[in-house]
Amino acid sequence: MTTPSKLALVPFVSVDNMMKLVNKIGPAQMIAEIADYIEADFKRWELFDKTPRVAAHSEEGVIELMPTSDGESYGFKYVNGHPANMARGFQTVTAFGVLARVDNGYPILLSEMTILTALRTAATSALVAKYLAPKGSKTMAMIGNGAQCEFQALAFKTIVGIDTVRLYDIDPDATAKAAKNLAATGLEVISCTSPEDAVAGAQIITTCTADKQCATILTDNMVGAGVHINAIGGDCPGKTELHRDILLRSDIFVEYPPQTRVEGEIQQLDDDHPVTELWRVMLGQAEGRRDDKQITLFDSVGFATEDFSALRYIHDQLAHHDTFVELDMLADPDDPRDLFGMVARAAS
Ligand SMILES: NC(=O)c1ccc[n+]([C@@H]2O[C@H](COP(=O)([O-])OP(=O)(O)OC[C@H]3O[C@@H](n4cnc5c(N)ncnc54)[C@H](O)[C@@H]3O)[C@@H](O)[C@H]2O)c1
């Protein structure tokens, strides 16, 4: 049997090891650190090879590949979105991802990304709100209390400084689960019985529901002047959360327009409806929040660079934390041309 060389061994972060890493670093600190990586990569936007994600749609949901590269590293995420999964005992969203060297194409990290997606989505939402939400925002309404919910609440507490979250879900069990999980975070948690109740007094509204249809989670009259909306759940063709009239009253901020025009809330608008790209706001090239009457909307769909940043962060943690195993994933014959010989020798 041959022993694989160090180069051929790929660090693998399992779900178990990801949980250990999150608990070692602490979820709030990890979200804040991932947000720093995401922000740094948004600020190098023009370096990235960008493409809308490649989506395979079915009756039940979608399976997507999300690739990107900064010229030095290449990354992709495999992710699904199946709104009916929860009722069948499966996650709505599961994911894994790869980071590789561009110079020789060798993968340098394979990681679970179901937990990492929740962390990076929360980090992105709160990072964006840092630029767009009203200064001094203290209360967030959180509509949809599923898998992403607590990560979002924690991210907004850590990065934006909210102290109160008002929860609502059509399923009261989901709200009870989130309230229990958030009890020890220091947030004041208020469980609400209607979406109207949840948005009362909130400066930030996060919608994070899963439904494979154009739903109306927020109607126009629920959104007052000056609010920041963080709309996460509408992220597929034919899957939206906001009434169109809200979009018409909002200044809309997006990750990557060619993807968001197809998948985001703005699929309800004309293709030339003005939107602002977040990287420009982060670089100071475009205005974020102008005044306290403006409604700002982050039409979040999740873009490949955010996963790339999260993978880059996890890869950097490998030097400090022993939370990975090495996989014999790449064939590594002594003579690179003697692949056949290596297989044949393994028989003896
Ligand atoms: N933008 C992004 O980057 C990003 C990242 C991850 C997930 N998502 C999307 O976010 C959504 C939520 O993901 P999740 O993993 O938390 O899903 P989940 O299935 O765990 O939770 C969704 C919750 O929404 C609730 N819900 C459904 N319809 C509702 C309604 N009308 N009003 C109130 N609550 C309602 C459900 O009861 C459930 O508790 C999904 O649509 C997913 O595709 C987006």
Statement to judge: residues 177 and 283 lie in one domain? yes
Cβ neighbours of residue 63 closer than 8 Å, sequence gap 6 or more: 55, 56, 78, 79, 80
What is the DSSP secondary structure assignment for residue 174, as one 8-state letter? H
Same domain, 290 and 155: yes
The alpha carbon of 168 and the centre of ligand 1 are apart by a number of angstroms equal to 12
Check residue 338 and give its pLDDT: 97
Residue 161: its H or E element: none
Shortest-distance atom of ligand 1 to CA 81: 43
d(CA 147, CA 145) in angstroms, rounded, equals 7
Residue closest by Cα to atom 9 of ligand 1: 233
Both 328 and 260 in one domain: the answer is: no
Whether 291 and 312 share a structural domain: no
Catalytic residue numbers? 235
Name the closest-CA residue to atom 42, ligand 1: 233
Domain count within the chain:
2
Say if 318 falls within a structural domain. yes
pLDDT of residue 214: 86
How confident is the model at residue 1, as a pLDDT?
Answer: 46
Which residue ranges of the chain lie beneath pLDDT 50? Answer: 1
Specify the ligand 1 atom closest to the Cα of 149.
16
Pocket test for ligand 1, best of 82, 88, 92 (most atoms within 8 A of CB): 92
Residues 165 and 294 in one domain: yes
| CA-nearest residue, atom 39 of ligand 1 | 146
Question: What's the confidence (pLDDT) of residue 179?
Answer: 98
Same domain, 144 and 107: no
Shared domain for 157 and 178, answered yes or no, is yes
Between CA 233 and CA 205 the distance in angstroms is 12
The torsion of the CA quartet 19, 24, 29, 31, rounded to 10 degrees, works out to -20
The answer to whether residue 224 sits within a structural domain is: yes
| 8 A C-beta contact, residue 229 and residue 218 | yes
Do residues 194 and 278 share a domain?
A: yes
Q: What are the angstrom distances between the C-alpha of 328 and each of 75, 170, 331?
A: 19, 46, 8
Separation of 141 CA from ligand 1 center, angstroms? 14
Both 205 and 318 in a single domain?
Answer: no
**Host domain of residue 46:** 6-115+305-345
Q: How far apart are CA 104 and CA 89, in angstroms?
A: 41
Whether 55 and 157 share a structural domain: no
Q: Tell me, in angstroms, the distance from the centre of ligand 1 to residue 256's CA.
A: 21
Q: Does residue 243 sit in the same domain as residue 149?
A: yes
Instruction: Indicate the helix (H) or strand (E) that contains 151.
Output: helix 149-155
CATH number of the domain that residue 64 is part of: 3.30.1780.10
Q: Residue 221 maps to which CATH number?
A: 3.40.50.720
- Domain assignment of residue 1, yes or no: no
Do residues 96 and 135 both lie within one domain? no
58 C-alpha to ligand 1 centroid (Å) = 18
Spell out which residues line ligand 1, taking CB within 6 angstroms. Answer: 81, 86, 92-93, 117, 121, 143-148, 169-171, 174, 208-211, 215, 217, 232-233, 235, 300-302
Residue nearest to atom 1 of ligand 1 (CA): 301
Residue 180: inside a domain = yes
pLDDT value of residue 3 = 57
Cα(31) to centroid(ligand 1), Å: 19
